[in-house]
Amino acid sequence: MHAYWNGEILPLDAVRVSPLDRGFVFGDGVYEVIRLYGGRLFYADRHWARLARSLQALSIAPAPDPAALEDALRQLIAKDGVEDGIAYVQVTRGAAPRTHAFPAPPVAPSVLAYVQPIPRPASIDRGGRAVLYPDLRWQRVDIKSVNLLGNVLAKQHAVEAGADEAILHRDGLITEGSSSNVFIVKKGIAFTHPATNAILNGITRQLVLELMGELGLPVVERPFSIEALWEADEVFITSTINEVTPIVAVDGIPIAGGKIGPWTAAVRAAFSDLVERVRIG
């Protein structure tokens, strides 16, 4: 397995990160996960746009050039022979003596990327199980930062409960999943939390909103309550890794009889078409 590290391609275990790197010390960095299908990048442009936004929000500069990153990823894909998987890209503020404020003058950001095969999760087809968990995170989760403790604790809670995902709630409202966005369908209308500072605006979420328009499913971007989740006709989550995954039970209780609903099936089919288009090239 190889990595791109500050302009070079080298074996992953040859990468040497400074103990003073602010990603390591403060979690002062951002990342992206891009899907690979058939060795091709899936909607990379949208990920580069979100990476640029995250970097700008934290004043990490200069941002790496997307064309150079894509070139590096293509080399890694070829070297490591990855077909279906992910590309991980991380940019931290760089290495500098420890003090909370940004280094002055600024130091060069640290840029890491690698690719990794990932099997298509079974929960996408069989339906996933979720548990509820309080949203303990900070108020700028729209920035895709490597500070993920709230997400890590939520996912661990899900794993220990034998579930696939934790659905987060704050003040009685569903925000998102620990690593996904959450949609419900009720009486032929879809609902999802709006893209505020309280969620990460998922690339899969954005694609699904567009697909819903094409499918003729009205969608309202408005926060919905825990009660609305329980009473939903359909629930599904979206993410780069888990695509469109139906949620068939929450806290062990079946949602709408534990069956995958017709709108979820339609969105899944439309999303699979996008995947096949990229896979074929």
Q: Which residues bind ligand PMP (CB under 6 A)?
A: 33, 151, 176, 179-181, 200, 202-205, 238-240
Beta strand spans in 187-274 (E): 189-192, 219-221, 234-239, 243-250, 253-254
One-letter amino acid for residue 105 of the chain: P
Q: How far is the CB of 99 from ligand PMP (least distance, A)?
A: 29
Q: How far apart are CA 241 and CA 245, in angstroms?
A: 10
CB-nearer residue toward ligand PMP: 79 or 140: 140
Q: How far apart are CA 96 and CA 92, in angstroms?
A: 11
Q: How far is the CB of 183 from ligand PMP (least distance, A)?
A: 12
CB-nearer residue toward ligand PMP: 22 or 205: 205
Strand-pair category, 219-221 with 189-192: parallel
Instruction: Tell me whether residue 186 is one of the annotated catalytic residues.
Output: no
Q: How far apart are CA 108 and CA 118, in angstroms?
A: 31
Q: How far is the CB of 179 from ligand PMP (least distance, A)?
A: 4
Angle, CA 277 vertex, CA 207 and CA 188 arms, to 5° = 40
CB-nearer residue toward ligand PMP: 169 or 205: 205
Q: How far is the CB of 110 from ligand PMP (least distance, A)?
A: 20
CB-nearer residue toward ligand PMP: 94 or 223: 223
Catalytic, out of 79, 144, 155, 187: 144
Residue nearest to ligand PMP (CB): 202
